[in-house]
Structures are given as C-alpha cells and as structure tokens.
C-alpha cells in the first residue's frame, strides 16, 4: 500500500474541510488593523511536489484562503471533468 498517496489524500480532504470552514469563520471574526500576520497553522506545514515540474509547493501560502484540492492520477491534459472545475473557478475567483 502506498502510504504517501493515502497521506496526500488525507491532507487534501482536511484542507478542503478546513478551507470551507474557514470561510464562515472569517466572515464572523474581524482582526484588528494592528494585528500581526497569522503564523502558518500546523495543518498546512507541508510541502508537495507540483505535478507539472516537481517544484516544492508549500501549503502555508494558502493560509486563510479557500482551497479546492483536486487529486489527479495522471499527466492527462484537459479532460471533461475539469470543465466543471474551470467553471467554478471562473464563477468564484473574484471572491478570493
């Protein structure tokens, strides 16, 4: 069994859950203007290789943002299921 694959899927699921819950929380809580930038939460202290070039991708850069993680299994180009994801991105990208 490939535990790295399972770990990545678990982290992806957690990120999606935390990202979505962070949206509603962020609308309720407002930070004072003098507040220091938040540190990277432990959940995001991970790096993954990007699919296209294996460059490390630090998840801390997404702290406080809504993230949709799509777990792909190949180097296939644009496929039919990505069309819906592209539509979601186009619809909501202006909201952050």
28, 38, 42, 76: which is the annotated catalytic residue? 76
Please indicate whether residue 76 is annotated as part of the active site. Answer: yes
d(CA 73, CA 83): 17
3-class secondary-structure state, position 61? helix
Q: Which among 65, 70, 68, 55 is positioned nearest to 22, based on CA atoms? A: 65
The residues near 68 (Cβ < 8 Å, ≥ 6 apart) are 16, 19, 85, 88
> What are the φ and ψ backbone dihedral angles of 48, each rounded to 5 degrees?
-130, 150
Catalytic annotation, residues: 76
């Amino acid at each position: 069994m490939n535990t790295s694959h399972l770990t990545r899927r678990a982290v992806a699921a957690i990120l999606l859950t935390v990202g979505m819950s962070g949206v509603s929380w962020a609308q309720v809580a407002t930070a004072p203007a003098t507040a220091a930038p938040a540190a990277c939460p432990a959940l995001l202290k991970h790096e993954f290789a990007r699919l296209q070039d294996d460059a490390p991708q630090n998840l801390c850069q997404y702290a406080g943002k809504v993230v949709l993680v799509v777990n792909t299994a190949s180097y296939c180009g644009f496929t039919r299921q990505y069309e819906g994801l592209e539509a979601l991105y186009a619809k909501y990208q202006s909201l952050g």
